[in-house]
Amino acid sequence: MSRQQILSDMEPIIKSAEESGLWLFCQYQQLWFSPSELRKEHANGRFIWGPVNWEVRSPLDLLESAKTRLMDAATNFYEVKKRIGLG
């Protein structure tokens, strides 16, 4: 499939996400982009993958994932601090 065909196939998905206030997520690469971010990446020749590679999801899912990683890191920090006798 040509680059132009992929971009053409992606446009309705990007537009739908944009209109719904949603983002695009690539499960394989664990990448998140707002519609405008993905358009910029496409303009720079990056992440030009067909629709099968993308899911339209709420950016709140990304926020929740970041929160979980932050909490896990904080827990790990305090566990290490305790183990080395500083906590």
Question: How far apart are alpha carbons 54 and 10 in whole angstroms?
Answer: 9
Summary mean pLDDT of the chain? 97
DSSP 75: H
> What is the average per-residue pLDDT within 59-80?
97
Q: How many CB atoms lie within 10 A of CB 35?
A: 20
This prediction has a pTM of 0.85
* pLDDT exceeds 90 at position 81: yes
Of the candidates 17, 15, 2, the one whose C-alpha atom is nearest the C-alpha of residue 56 is 17
User: CB burial class (10 A; 0-12, 13-18, 19+) of residue 48?
Assistant: middle
Percentage of residues in the chain having pLDDT higher than 90: 98
